[in-house]
Structure 1
Amino acid sequence: MDRWQAMRVFVRVAESGGFAAAARQLNMSPPAVTRAVAALENRIGTRLLTRTTRSLMLTEAGGRYLEDCRRILSDMEEAEALAAGAYATPSGTLTITAPVQFGRLYVLPAVTEFLARYPAVSVRALFLDRVVNLIEEGADVGIRIGHLADSGLVAVRVGTVRRVLCAAPDYLDRHGTPESMGDLHRHATIGLMGTRLPFERHSPAEGPTRGATRCRLICNTIDAVLSAAIAGQGIAPLLSYQVAPSVAEGRLRLVLDDPEAVPLPVHIVSLEGRRAPAKVRAFIDLAAARLQADPMVNPGRG
C-alpha cells in the first residue's frame, strides 16, 4: 500500500474511532486496515494511536499528524480536481447549510434553480437552527444571519434582516394595539426558548423597565412561535423574513417599531474563496444575486 493510501486509512480510522468502522467505510478487511496504520507508524518511527480492548485514542504526535494528513490529502484532491476540470465545470455534491425557515423560503428556491442549471451537480441541504461548523460537518457553503465571529471564513454580504413584533389581527382586535414598548406588560406574549426578548430589557441598577413582561407561552421552535402568533395567542418577536409571508397574507400584523432593534447582516460563507471548486463559486454567485435582489432580505430593493 502506498503512503498516500496509508494516510487516507489513518485519517478514516481516527475519524471513525476504530479499525473495524474504518474497514467497513473503506471496504477493506480489518487486518488490512491495521497493517496500513502499523506500516505508517513504522515509517514515521512513532506511535500514532493508543489502542486498548475498548478504546482507541490519538497520541499527541498522532493528533498533529492527523491535521497534517488532512491538509496534504486535501491539497492532493484539489490538484487532481483541478487537473480533471472540476474547477472549471460545476460537478459533484454540494453541501449547503442555512437556518430552517430561511433555508425553506430563500435558499431552497436558489437550490432548485442551481440544480436545473447544472445537471452534473447534486445538493445536500442541511437546514438547522444552529451555527454549523463547515469543516466538522462537511459543508461547502453556509448562510449566516447575525454578526460574524472572526472565523477565517470567506463571507459575501447579501442583505440584512431585523427583529420585529407581530400579532394576529384577531388578537389585536380583541386586546388592542400597543402604542409603546411600555404597553406590552398588558399583553400576552410568545417567546422562543433560549432567546432574550426585547420587552425583557432591564438594568442591574434599576431592575425591569416599564415594558418588561413575562411570556405566557414559550416554544422551542420558530415555527411553533409563528403558529401560535397566527392563532392569536399573543405578540411575538421574530425576524422580518420569518413573518414576511404571513404579513403579506394578512395573517399577522407588525406592531410597534423597536428603537433598539439592530439590523442583522445576512452572509453567504465558505472556506476557500477564489480557490473553491466551480460548484461552490457557481452557487454563491447565483444565491447572492437572488438574495441581493430580494426586498425581504435587502430592504429597499424590488
Structure 2
Amino acid sequence: MDRWQAMRVFVKVAETASFAETARHLHMSPPAVTRAVAGLEEAIGARLFVRTTRSVKLTEAGRRYVEDCRRILADIVEAEAAAAGSYATPSGTLAITASVLFGHMHVLPIITDYLDAYPTMAARTLFVDRPVNIVEEGIDVAIRIGHLPDSGFTAARVGSVRRVICGSPGYFDRHGVPTAPADLKDHRIAISTGAFASPEWRFAGDQRVTIHPTLQSNTNEAGITAALAGWGLTRVLHYQIGPALLDGRLQIVLADHEEPPLPIHVLYPEGRHAPAKVRTFVDMAVARLRANRLLN
C-alpha cells in the first residue's frame, strides 16, 4: 500500500476510533487496515495508537501526525481537483445542516437559489435541532446559532439572534404586560422541551427565573402557535417569529432584560482547501444572511 493511501486509512481510524469501522467506510478488510497503520508506524518509528479490547486512542505522536496527514491529504485533493477542473467549477452534491426552523425559513431559500444558479449541482439538507458532527455525518457546510467551540473549522459570522419573550396584543390587553422577569410567575407560559430547553430562564444582570409552564411541547412552533392564539407567552429566538413581529401579531416584552444576542456563523471544515461547491455556496450564503434584516 502506498504512503498516501496508508495516511488516508490512518486518518479515518483516528476519526472513527475503530479499525473495523474504518474498514467498512473504506471498503477494505480489517487486516488490510491494521497492516496500513502498522506500516506507517514502522516507517516513522513511532506508535500512533494505543489499542485495547474496547478502545483505540491516538498517542501523543499520533495526534501530531494526524494533523500533518490531514494537511498533506488536503493538498493532494486540491491538486487533483485543480487538475480535473472541479476546484474551479462546482460539481457533485452539497450537504448543508442547520436547525429545523432556521433551515426552513432562511437556509432553504438560499439553497434553491444556489441550485438555480448551478444547475449541475445537487443538495442534501440535514435540518435537526441537535448538535451535528460535521465530519462523521458528511456535512459540507453548517449554519450554527450560538457560540462556537474551538474546532479548527473556518467560520464566517453572518448575524445574531435574540432570545425573546413574546405574546399577542390581545393577551396583553387581558392579562397585562410583565415589566420584570419575576412577573412571569403571573402569566401562562408555553415552552419547548427540545434539546436546549431549560426550566430556568436567564436574563441580563445574572437574573434567573424558574419557569413553571402550563403548556409543554416538543417543538417551538407549538409555543408560537399558542402565543399567536392569545393563549399565553413563549420564549423563542426572534427570527422564529419575524413575520409575526413585522405585522404586529406578536409583541416582545422584557426586551431591556434580555441576555446578549447569540451569534450566527456559516461553518465549513476545509478552509482554503474547500472545493468549488463549498466556496460558491458559502459566498452566497454569507452575503444573503448578512443582508437579512431579521438576523441583525
Q: TM-score per shorter chain, which class?
A: 0.7 to 0.9
Report the identity percentage: 54
Please give the secondary structure, in 2, of the residue aligned with 1:46. Answer: coil
Give ranges in structure 2 of 5+ residues lacking alignment.
none
> What residue number does 2:253 align with?
256
> What residue number does 2:22 align with?
22
Please say which structure displays the higher CA radius of gyration.
1
Amino acid at match of 1:239: L
> What residue number does 1:118 align with?
118
Amino acid at match of 1:296: L
> What residue number does 1:268 align with?
266
Pairing partner for 1:194 from 186, 195, 198: 198
Query: Following the alignment from structure 2 to structure 1, what is the Cα–Cα distance between the partners of residues 17 and 156?
Result: 36
> What residue number does 2:286 align with?
288
Query: Following the alignment from structure 2 to structure 1, what is the Cα–Cα distance between the partners of residues 40 and 70?
Result: 15
1:147-158 aligned at under 5 Å gives the runs 153-158=153-158
CA contact (8 A) 2:228 2:250 kept: no
| Deviant stretches of 4+, over 6 Å | 199-202
Displacement of 1:111 in angstroms is: 0.8
Question: How big is each residue's C-alpha offset from its partner over 1:200-239, in whole Å with a ceiling of 9 and x where there is no partner?
Answer: 9776xxxx7xx98643344454234324434544211222
> What residue number does 1:145 align with?
145
Question: How big is each residue's C-alpha offset from its partner over 1:49-89, in whole Å with a ceiling of 9 and x where there is no partner?
Answer: 34455554444433433333222212221222222222211
- The 1:214–1:201 alpha-carbon spacing in structure 2 relative to 1, beyond 3 Å, is farther
Query: Following the alignment from structure 1 to structure 2, what is the Cα–Cα distance between the partners of residues 153 and 55?
Result: 26
Number of aligned pairs? 290
Question: How big is each residue's C-alpha offset from its partner over 1:134-186, in whole Å with a ceiling of 9 and x where there is no partner?
Answer: 4565533232334556766544443343333222466446x334163365432
Query: Following the alignment from structure 1 to structure 2, what is the Cα–Cα distance between the partners of residues 293 and 10?
Result: 42
Pairing partner for 1:225 from 223, 226, 236: 223
Displacement of 1:291 in angstroms is: 2.5
Please give the secondary structure, in 2, of the residue aligned with 1:197. Answer: strand
TM normalised by structure 1 equals 0.77
Amino acid at match of 1:118: Y
- The 1:196–1:79 alpha-carbon spacing in structure 2 relative to 1, beyond 3 Å, is farther
TM normalised by structure 2 equals 0.78
Give ranges in structure 1 of 5+ residues lacking alignment.
none
Q: Indicate the RMSD between aligned Cα atoms, in angstroms.
A: 3.5
Please give the secondary structure, in 2, of the residue aligned with 1:126. Answer: strand
> What residue number does 1:31 align with?
31
